[in-house]
Amino acid sequence: MAFFQNLWAELVSEFTATFITEQRYLLFLNGLKTTLTVAFAAAALGVVLGFIIAYIRTTHDQTGHLRILNALCKLYLTVIRGTPTMIQLLIMYFIIFGSVKIDKVPVAILAFGINSGAYVAEIFRSGIMSIPPGQMEAARSLGLNYTQATWKIILPQAVKNVLPALGNEVIVLLKETSISGYIALQDLTKAGDIVRSRTYSAFFPYISVALMYLVLVLFLEKLLSYMEGRLARSDR
Protein backbone atom coordinates (compact mmCIF):
# COMPACT_ATOMS: atom_id res chain seq x y z
CA MET A 1 0.00 0.00 0.00
CA ALA A 2 2.84 2.35 0.85
CA PHE A 3 4.35 1.71 -2.60
CA PHE A 4 1.22 2.92 -4.38
CA GLN A 5 0.94 5.93 -2.08
CA ASN A 6 4.53 6.90 -2.84
CA LEU A 7 3.95 6.34 -6.56
CA TRP A 8 0.83 8.50 -6.51
CA ALA A 9 2.61 11.24 -4.59
CA GLU A 10 5.47 11.20 -7.10
CA LEU A 11 3.07 11.38 -10.06
CA VAL A 12 1.22 14.31 -8.48
CA SER A 13 4.52 16.04 -7.83
CA GLU A 14 5.69 15.55 -11.43
CA PHE A 15 2.33 16.67 -12.81
CA THR A 16 2.49 19.82 -10.70
CA ALA A 17 6.07 20.54 -11.77
CA THR A 18 5.23 19.94 -15.43
CA PHE A 19 2.00 21.92 -15.74
CA ILE A 20 1.25 24.05 -12.67
CA THR A 21 4.58 25.46 -11.50
CA GLU A 22 5.36 28.79 -13.19
CA GLN A 23 2.20 28.25 -15.29
CA ARG A 24 4.09 25.85 -17.55
CA TYR A 25 0.83 24.67 -19.08
CA LEU A 26 0.94 27.91 -21.06
CA LEU A 27 4.09 26.65 -22.78
CA PHE A 28 2.16 23.59 -23.96
CA LEU A 29 -0.85 25.64 -25.05
CA ASN A 30 1.28 28.10 -27.00
CA GLY A 31 3.26 25.22 -28.50
CA LEU A 32 0.04 23.48 -29.50
CA LYS A 33 -1.21 26.66 -31.15
CA THR A 34 2.03 27.00 -33.10
CA THR A 35 1.94 23.34 -34.16
CA LEU A 36 -1.64 23.59 -35.44
CA THR A 37 -0.93 26.88 -37.22
CA VAL A 38 2.12 25.50 -39.02
CA ALA A 39 0.52 22.14 -39.82
CA PHE A 40 -2.75 23.38 -41.29
CA ALA A 41 -1.27 26.39 -43.10
CA ALA A 42 1.41 24.13 -44.61
CA ALA A 43 -1.26 21.58 -45.55
CA ALA A 44 -3.25 24.28 -47.36
CA LEU A 45 -0.13 25.45 -49.19
CA GLY A 46 0.74 21.86 -50.04
CA VAL A 47 -2.72 21.17 -51.47
CA VAL A 48 -2.61 24.27 -53.69
CA LEU A 49 0.94 23.60 -54.85
CA GLY A 50 0.29 19.89 -55.31
CA PHE A 51 -2.86 20.48 -57.33
CA ILE A 52 -1.10 22.88 -59.70
CA ILE A 53 1.76 20.44 -60.24
CA ALA A 54 -0.60 17.50 -60.73
CA TYR A 55 -2.61 19.49 -63.28
CA ILE A 56 0.52 20.40 -65.23
CA ARG A 57 1.82 16.82 -65.22
CA THR A 58 -1.47 15.18 -66.22
CA THR A 59 -2.03 17.79 -68.93
CA HIS A 60 1.39 16.97 -70.33
CA ASP A 61 0.77 13.22 -70.09
CA GLN A 62 -2.55 13.45 -71.91
CA THR A 63 -1.92 16.22 -74.43
CA GLY A 64 1.86 16.60 -74.71
CA HIS A 65 1.62 20.31 -73.88
CA LEU A 66 3.45 22.26 -71.13
CA ARG A 67 6.76 20.45 -71.67
CA ILE A 68 8.96 23.01 -69.94
CA LEU A 69 6.64 23.33 -66.94
CA ASN A 70 6.40 19.55 -66.73
CA ALA A 71 10.20 19.26 -66.70
CA LEU A 72 10.41 21.84 -63.89
CA CYS A 73 7.73 19.96 -61.92
CA LYS A 74 9.62 16.69 -62.30
CA LEU A 75 12.81 18.38 -61.05
CA TYR A 76 10.92 19.80 -58.07
CA LEU A 77 9.46 16.38 -57.23
CA THR A 78 12.84 14.69 -57.51
CA VAL A 79 14.60 17.18 -55.24
CA ILE A 80 11.90 17.48 -52.59
CA ARG A 81 11.08 13.78 -52.36
CA GLY A 82 14.77 12.84 -52.46
CA THR A 83 15.96 14.95 -49.52
CA PRO A 84 15.00 14.83 -45.80
CA THR A 85 12.37 17.23 -44.54
CA MET A 86 14.64 18.39 -41.73
CA ILE A 87 17.38 19.37 -44.17
CA GLN A 88 14.86 21.30 -46.26
CA LEU A 89 13.72 23.16 -43.14
CA LEU A 90 17.30 24.01 -42.16
CA ILE A 91 18.14 25.19 -45.69
CA MET A 92 15.00 27.33 -45.76
CA TYR A 93 15.81 29.03 -42.44
CA PHE A 94 19.61 29.25 -42.35
CA ILE A 95 20.40 29.66 -46.07
CA ILE A 96 17.44 31.03 -48.01
CA PHE A 97 16.28 33.36 -45.21
CA GLY A 98 19.61 33.40 -43.38
CA SER A 99 20.31 37.06 -44.10
CA VAL A 100 16.75 38.21 -43.45
CA LYS A 101 15.16 38.84 -40.08
CA ILE A 102 11.91 36.90 -40.37
CA ASP A 103 9.52 35.16 -38.02
CA LYS A 104 10.11 31.42 -37.77
CA VAL A 105 6.45 30.44 -38.27
CA PRO A 106 6.19 31.57 -41.94
CA VAL A 107 9.53 29.88 -42.65
CA ALA A 108 8.25 26.60 -41.19
CA ILE A 109 4.96 26.91 -43.08
CA LEU A 110 6.81 27.50 -46.35
CA ALA A 111 9.26 24.63 -45.80
CA PHE A 112 6.62 22.09 -44.77
CA GLY A 113 4.19 23.32 -47.43
CA ILE A 114 6.74 22.91 -50.23
CA ASN A 115 7.61 19.46 -48.91
CA SER A 116 3.99 18.39 -48.64
CA GLY A 117 3.20 19.74 -52.11
CA ALA A 118 5.48 17.14 -53.70
CA TYR A 119 3.53 14.28 -52.14
CA VAL A 120 0.12 15.86 -52.64
CA ALA A 121 0.97 16.32 -56.33
CA GLU A 122 1.43 12.58 -56.78
CA ILE A 123 -1.75 11.91 -54.80
CA PHE A 124 -3.78 14.21 -57.06
CA ARG A 125 -2.08 12.90 -60.17
CA SER A 126 -2.87 9.30 -59.30
CA GLY A 127 -6.47 10.27 -58.58
CA ILE A 128 -6.86 12.03 -61.91
CA MET A 129 -5.22 9.17 -63.81
CA SER A 130 -7.52 6.66 -62.07
CA ILE A 131 -10.57 8.09 -63.87
CA PRO A 132 -11.36 5.98 -66.97
CA PRO A 133 -10.23 7.71 -70.21
CA GLY A 134 -13.69 7.14 -71.65
CA GLN A 135 -15.09 9.87 -69.41
CA MET A 136 -12.76 12.47 -70.89
CA GLU A 137 -13.62 11.25 -74.39
CA ALA A 138 -17.35 11.44 -73.64
CA ALA A 139 -16.99 14.96 -72.28
CA ARG A 140 -15.03 16.07 -75.34
CA SER A 141 -17.68 14.55 -77.61
CA LEU A 142 -20.28 16.72 -75.88
CA GLY A 143 -18.38 19.85 -76.87
CA LEU A 144 -16.30 20.48 -73.77
CA ASN A 145 -12.66 21.41 -74.27
CA TYR A 146 -9.88 19.74 -72.26
CA THR A 147 -9.90 22.29 -69.43
CA GLN A 148 -13.69 22.28 -69.06
CA ALA A 149 -13.84 18.49 -69.06
CA THR A 150 -11.08 18.30 -66.46
CA TRP A 151 -12.72 20.78 -64.09
CA LYS A 152 -16.33 19.65 -64.50
CA ILE A 153 -16.02 15.90 -65.00
CA ILE A 154 -12.64 14.54 -63.95
CA LEU A 155 -11.63 16.57 -60.89
CA PRO A 156 -14.84 16.10 -58.83
CA GLN A 157 -14.42 12.34 -59.09
CA ALA A 158 -10.67 12.48 -58.51
CA VAL A 159 -11.06 14.47 -55.28
CA LYS A 160 -13.36 11.79 -53.86
CA ASN A 161 -10.85 9.10 -54.78
CA VAL A 162 -7.88 10.83 -53.16
CA LEU A 163 -9.55 12.09 -49.98
CA PRO A 164 -8.25 9.23 -47.77
CA ALA A 165 -4.69 9.71 -49.05
CA LEU A 166 -4.94 13.48 -48.55
CA GLY A 167 -6.15 12.95 -44.99
CA ASN A 168 -3.21 10.68 -44.28
CA GLU A 169 -0.84 13.29 -45.70
CA VAL A 170 -2.24 15.92 -43.31
CA ILE A 171 -1.71 13.52 -40.39
CA VAL A 172 1.87 12.82 -41.47
CA LEU A 173 2.49 16.54 -41.89
CA LEU A 174 1.14 17.25 -38.40
CA LYS A 175 3.65 14.84 -36.91
CA GLU A 176 6.48 16.08 -39.12
CA THR A 177 6.15 19.57 -37.67
CA SER A 178 7.70 18.18 -34.47
CA ILE A 179 11.13 18.89 -36.01
CA SER A 180 10.41 22.64 -36.01
CA GLY A 181 12.50 22.96 -32.86
CA TYR A 182 15.63 22.64 -35.01
CA ILE A 183 15.11 26.27 -36.04
CA ALA A 184 14.21 27.20 -32.44
CA LEU A 185 10.51 27.45 -33.21
CA GLN A 186 8.59 26.81 -30.00
CA ASP A 187 6.10 24.20 -31.16
CA LEU A 188 4.51 21.49 -29.02
CA THR A 189 7.59 19.26 -29.01
CA LYS A 190 9.89 22.16 -28.20
CA ALA A 191 7.60 23.16 -25.34
CA GLY A 192 7.95 19.67 -23.87
CA ASP A 193 11.72 19.89 -24.20
CA ILE A 194 11.79 23.28 -22.45
CA VAL A 195 9.74 21.91 -19.55
CA ARG A 196 12.02 18.86 -19.35
CA SER A 197 15.06 21.12 -19.05
CA ARG A 198 13.42 22.99 -16.18
CA THR A 199 12.06 20.00 -14.25
CA TYR A 200 15.03 17.66 -14.93
CA SER A 201 12.45 14.96 -15.62
CA ALA A 202 11.63 13.66 -19.09
CA PHE A 203 8.72 11.33 -18.31
CA PHE A 204 5.78 13.70 -17.85
CA PRO A 205 6.75 16.36 -20.45
CA TYR A 206 7.39 13.92 -23.28
CA ILE A 207 4.52 11.55 -22.45
CA SER A 208 2.21 14.58 -22.32
CA VAL A 209 3.39 15.76 -25.73
CA ALA A 210 2.94 12.26 -27.16
CA LEU A 211 -0.61 12.07 -25.80
CA MET A 212 -1.46 15.48 -27.27
CA TYR A 213 -0.27 14.37 -30.69
CA LEU A 214 -2.21 11.13 -30.32
CA VAL A 215 -5.43 12.99 -29.50
CA LEU A 216 -4.94 15.29 -32.50
CA VAL A 217 -4.34 12.35 -34.85
CA LEU A 218 -7.36 10.44 -33.53
CA PHE A 219 -9.52 13.53 -34.02
CA LEU A 220 -8.29 13.95 -37.61
CA GLU A 221 -8.90 10.26 -38.33
CA LYS A 222 -12.43 10.56 -36.98
CA LEU A 223 -13.06 13.67 -39.07
CA LEU A 224 -11.67 11.94 -42.16
CA SER A 225 -13.90 8.90 -41.61
CA TYR A 226 -16.93 11.19 -41.27
CA MET A 227 -16.11 13.00 -44.51
CA GLU A 228 -15.59 9.70 -46.34
CA GLY A 229 -18.96 8.50 -45.09
CA ARG A 230 -20.68 11.65 -46.29
CA LEU A 231 -19.10 11.32 -49.73
CA ALA A 232 -20.03 7.64 -49.92
CA ARG A 233 -23.67 8.43 -49.11
CA SER A 234 -23.74 11.21 -51.71
CA ASP A 235 -22.75 8.68 -54.41
CA ARG A 236 -25.76 6.45 -53.73
Topology of domain 34-185, per CATH? MetI-like fold (1.10.3720)
| Torsion sign across C-alpha atoms 58, 64, 67, 69 | negative
Q: Which of 83-92, 183-192, 227-236 has the lowest mean pLDDT?
A: 227-236
What pLDDT, in 10s, does the model give residues 110-167?
999 999 999 999 999 888 888 777 777 787 777 777 777 777 777 777 878 888 889 9
Domain boundaries, the chain: 34-185
| CA-closest candidate to residue 52, choices 150, 157, 161 | 150
Over range 213-219, report the average pLDDT.
Answer: 95
| Torsion sign across C-alpha atoms 227, 233, 234, 236 | positive
Give me the torsion for CA of 202, 204, 206, 210, rounded to 10°.
Answer: 160
| CA-closest candidate to residue 121, choices 54, 42, 59 | 54
What pLDDT, in 10s, does the model give residues 75-97?
999 999 999 999 999 999 999 99
Predicted local confidence at residue 235, as pLDDT: 62
Predicted local confidence at residue 12, as pLDDT: 84
The angle, 0 to 180 degrees and rounded to 10, between the axes of the packed helices 203-234 and 25-63 is 40
